[in-house]
Structure 1
Amino acid sequence: MGWFSAPEYWLGRLLLERGAAAIYLIAFVAAAAQFRALIGEHGILPVPRFLAAHSFWRTPSVFHLRYSDRLFAAVSWFGATLSAAVVAGAADLVPLWAAMLTWLTLWVLYLSIVNVGQTWYSFGWESLLLEIGFLMIFLGNDQISPPVLTLWMARLLLFRVEFGAGLIKMRGDPCWRDLTCLYYHHETQPMPGPLSWFFHHLPKPLHRIEVAGNHFAQLIVPFGLFAPQPIATVAAATIVVTQLWLVASGNFAWLNWMTIILAFSAIDPSSLLPVSTAPAIAQPPVWFVVVVLVFTVAVLFLNYWPLRNMLSARQRMNMSFNPFHLVNTYGAFGSIGRIRREVVIEGTESSTITGQTVWKEYEFKGKPGALRRLPRQWAPYHLRLDWLMWFAAISPDYAQPWLRPFLQRLLRNDRSTLRLLRHNPFPASPPLYVRARLYQYRFTTAAELRRDRAWWHRTLVGEYLPPMALGEF
């Protein structure tokens, strides 16, 4: 079955599978570490309340059978353990059917988490991980050569990720078309990284080159993925380089790393260098060929909806067309903020609020807060609360379902909630009042950094939420 197998992509498959398993591992660990405060039985948006209002077919999840925090933790840690085993090569040590069952189990478990995660799991990279994870079921293991059809479906997915992101930019904010978006984006992105200050202060002509390079990488290069070798390898390598640039300039959870992993479906080192290929591998069983053929036909059919969306003048970003998150549409940053605003949460131990009341700030792990604190590198780990605080600063309506319950838990010094923060200014006893204020942040200039040793400068915009006590919720 020479038409079915592509033994020269043995290294690409290895990196695809181990990379996808590594991202699964990070995602399951993040779920285990953050769920109690966010969606646990006594969390900000409790899963039991959500399940009571949604049917299984609308939100497929094993938690429709039964939910408890203990079960959620067990699912998360079992998923992490299974992912770690695949990273270590366990899927190559078992029969082909068992390897497929392993990948299917990981997909079902993470789908179950995403579908009850509500706002906290509404990010495009959740669907991307699920789509890649489902694709891995049909990539086989070391017992057979990589299936050509599955590799092509991976390339098609990469094309949709990159080309969709490029289109949404060209159709969106004018700054993408006049090449000025990066005058602002490194400063106003959701969660800057340790190098973002330096990227922001690059010369403006270089920012324009960055944007032009991004358009080339997302609108032109993806077509090369379907070209003969070595063109496909060069196109995939170009995507890897541009994604590493994004990794260095910000914190976008595992989005960039998933895109890099997908690029290995098109990289054939032997087309450029004299690299030895894998040893002869047995022909795939007939049943596996049939399963992969059915999978390919189904994926091509489901591609109708995201491709129609990409061609639409009203293209939508990061949308799933089915509750199983299979064959989705992607895209990000169709519009770019020109100024950065941050919601700062404060508490006080005073029983009476006056002009002299002393307020202490809560500090988050990832989002900007303390002016002298250099932003940290968190990606590919995902700090869900920090990301949503960025959206809260943009639109109070977006934060309406979860921000007040979050503040209520701060007034009780809820342990699981405080674990999501970097610093609790009230370790001995909870505050009597909390409030939220809105600030405008900007990166300091080089001169201000030398003088004040501060990475940020901020100006008070006004009150976001007034002081509230526990009995006022």
Structure 2
Amino acid sequence: MDGFAAVDYGFAREVLQRGIAALYLVAFLSSLNQFRPLLGERGLLPAPDLLAWVAESPRRRRMLHPTLFSRMRYTDRRLAALCWAGMAVAAVLVVGLPQLGPPWVPMICFLLLWGGYMSIVSIGQTFYSFGWEMLLLEAGFLAAFLGSADQPPPTVVIALFWWLLFRLEFGAGMIKIRGGREWRDLTALTYHHETQPMPGPLSRQAHLLPRWFHKGEVLGNHFAQLVVPFFLFAPLVAVWVAVDGPWIWIGTVAATIIVATQAWLVITGNFAWLNWATIVIAFSAVSIPVVERAQRDETRAIALPVYWIVITCAVGLLSVALSWPALRNLFAHRQLMNASFNRWQLGNAYGAFGTVTRERIELVIEGTSDADPDAAEWSEYEFKGKPGAVGRIPRQFAPYHLRLDWLMWFLPLGHSLDDWFSMLLARLLQADAATLRLLRHDPFEGEAPQWVRVVSYRYRFATRAQHRVSRAVWTRDRRRVIVQPVSLRGS
């Protein structure tokens, strides 16, 4: 680092800008495919109803996060247009075209992504209540101030990414230490690979690894999240004390450890873009020094414009001010997980999986075309990501986010079924085409069933011996009927 210019972080800037833009492309694509059947005009939780309720009261309007749809009427067409526009802007950033211009050009592009996606998240209700939504928003805002390809990235913005990564990792580590006993007795990952929301194709193999390995996983996680994040700031210490040498590389080593642990999570699960975003943000600490004197002198000679120094320093001061609640939360006795402290979703608190469930209960939706539900033959609806047929190997979807599948995992953990789930059953009884496209398999091939019901099962990964005999990936046992047979004519 050299004053206001992080001269050794050009590669880090490239990964940050292109990687964050790629994640925005995925996020807008996910919304294009899923928002309308989930939250559109005929969605399970219609966004127009939310906006109409908010408009009734000034207090409610202040509670709503900023969204374009508070100023213009929501329609599914406008939502689709916003998603297509967001994907287009994200695509040109991935290619790197705006970065070839002055720094305000990529700034405008990233701020458009940030504002556009916040407009969606703000009316996304429970389907957009995940921590990685606010993580993407905060990362996109910071990426707006990384500058152009012909200039070094601003030191203050690179350091803000370290602070974001610190909150993300250390916050998750503290949530675990303060959470369930399984994180303290090192047994959490004995269960997690099997009971996580949406397993991936290698989750079963990870689950079947020896117990000593799972304990090592937990220890490695604690080290990566509770110890390593402090070393991200080592390059700043080197600047303050005016030393070179190993200090410069400590941040890179810390980033490498974080990337390695996140890569393990990528190949053993499906956590939307959470792990991918963490990997991208971790590259902010990867320093590739300019070693040739002539090249270093040339880099230093490219001074950042004064207006850009003023803007980035102002962003730094704003971020410090907005981060104060998150800093206090890190060391609070009752630490909040994935909390936003302002309307703009900046300076957030992060964390996940403070407790790990030891048993996997799945709700299976069944339907029948028979008139008499008591003597009926029932067929199962198959979801794209969540476990269903015992012989089906889980697929890799991340960084794409299957929102309906994720919320299906949460249902057995609650005390009552949510309103959106009742509407889902109604849509299945109507054979609603948009809703059926969210599923992997409709046993009635577009025809409306007479009845649907919901049955709970306990799922376990098949042991190696069971798999050799039956080729099954899962074993399951039926628990009870959660929702008795219902029809559009009444139960």
The TM-score bracket by the shorter chain reads: over 0.9
**Contact persistence 1:413–1:430 (CA under 8 A):** yes
Deviations 1:428-458 (A, max 9, x none): 5210111111111000110000111101011
| Aligned residue in 1 for 2:316 | 296
| Letter of the structure 2 residue corresponding to residue 344 of structure 1 | V
**SS of the counterpart of 1:470?**
coil
Name which of structure 1's ranges 337-346 and 142-151 shifts more when overlaid on structure 2: 142-151
2:247 pairs with 1:240: no
Does structure 2 conserve the Cα–Cα contact (< 8 Å) formed by 1:348 and 1:433?
A: yes
Q: How does 1:233-382 map to 2 (within 5 A)?
A: 233-270=252-289, 280=299, 282-354=302-374, 356-382=375-401
CA offset digits 1:148-194 (Å, max 9, x no partner): 00000000000000000000000011111111111100000000000
Mapped to 2, the partners of 1:206 and 1:279 lie a distance apart of 49
1:24–1:83: 8 Å Cα contact kept in structure 2? yes
* CA distance, structure 1, for counterparts of residue 282 and residue 209 of structure 2: 28
Q: Distance in 1 between matches of 2:34 and 2:262?
A: 27
More moved, 119-128 vs 51-60 = 51-60
**Structure 1 equivalent of residue 238 of structure 2:** none
Which aligned pairs between 1:85-164 and structure 2 lie closer than 5 A? 85-164=92-171
SS at match of 2:431: coil
1:30 aligned onto 2:30: yes
Per-residue CA deviations over 1:328-367 (Å, capped at 9, x if unaligned) read 101011011010000000000011122x310000000000
Query: Equivalent pairs: percent with the same residue?
Result: 50
SS in 2 for 1:3: coil
**CA deviations over 1:76-124 (Å, ceiling 9, x no partner):** 1110111011101122133322221111111000000000000000000
Residues 362 and 424, structure 1, Cα contact 8 Å, conserved in 2: yes
Structure 2 residue runs of 5 or longer lacking an equivalent are: 55-59, 236-247
1:45 maps to what in 2? Answer: 45
C-alpha distance in structure 1 between counterparts of 2:292 and 2:409, whole Å = 45
Match of 2:16 in 1: 16
Match of residue 173 from structure 1? 180
TM-score (norm 2): 0.93
Alpha-carbon spacing, 1:270–1:66, altered in 2? closer, same or farther (3 Å)? same
Find the counterpart in structure 1 of residue 69 from structure 2.
Answer: 63
Is 2:185 the counterpart of 1:182? no
Q: How far apart, CA to CA, are the structure 2 residues paired with 1:212 and 1:273? A: 40
Retained in 1: the 8 A contact 2:89–2:113? yes
Query: Structure 2 CA distance, aligned partners of 1:289 and 1:57?
Result: 33
* 1:357–1:79 distance in 2 versus 1, CA, 3 Å: same
- The answer as to whether partners of 2:362 and 2:409 remain within 8 angstroms in 1 is yes
CA distance in structure 2 between the aligned counterparts of 1:66 and 1:216, rounded to whole angstroms: 49
Q: Is the 8 A contact 1:346 1:362 kept in 2?
A: yes
| Shift of residue 394, structure 1, vs aligned partner | 1.6
Deviations for 1:386-427, whole angstroms, at most 9, x for unmatched residues? 000000122253x41210001100011111101100000111
SS at match of 2:9: helix
For residues 63 and 73 of structure 2, the distance between their equivalents in structure 1, rounded to whole angstroms, comes to 16
Task: Please tell me whether the aligned partners of residues 161 and 330 of structure 1 are also in contact (alpha carbons under 8 angstroms).
Answer: yes
> TM-score, normalised to structure 1's length?
0.97
The alignment of Structure 1 onto Structure 2 pairs a total of residues equal to: 470
Report the secondary structure of 1:472's partner residue: coil
The answer to whether the Cα contact below 8 Å between 1:10 and 1:278 also exists between their aligned partners in 2 is no
- Tell me how far apart the structure 2 counterparts of residues 146 and 321 of structure 1 sit (CA, whole Å): 28
Q: Partner residue of 2:432? A: 414
User: SS where residue 410 of structure 1 aligns?
Assistant: helix
Mean CA deviation greater in 303-312 or 26-35: 303-312
1:264 aligned counterpart, secondary structure: helix
CA shift in 2, pair 1:428/1:294, >3 Å: closer
* Residues 177-212 of structure 1: per-residue CA shift (max 9 Å, x gap): 111111100000000000000000000001100100
1:440 is paired with a residue of what secondary structure? Answer: strand
Equivalent runs, 1:452-463 vs 2, <5 Å: 452-463=470-481
Cα distance in 1 between the residues matched to 2:447 and 2:422: 20
Q: What SS does structure 1 have at the residue aligned with 2:33?
A: helix
Change (3 A) 1:95 1:11: same
- Which residue, 81, 85, 88 being the options, matches 1:78? 85
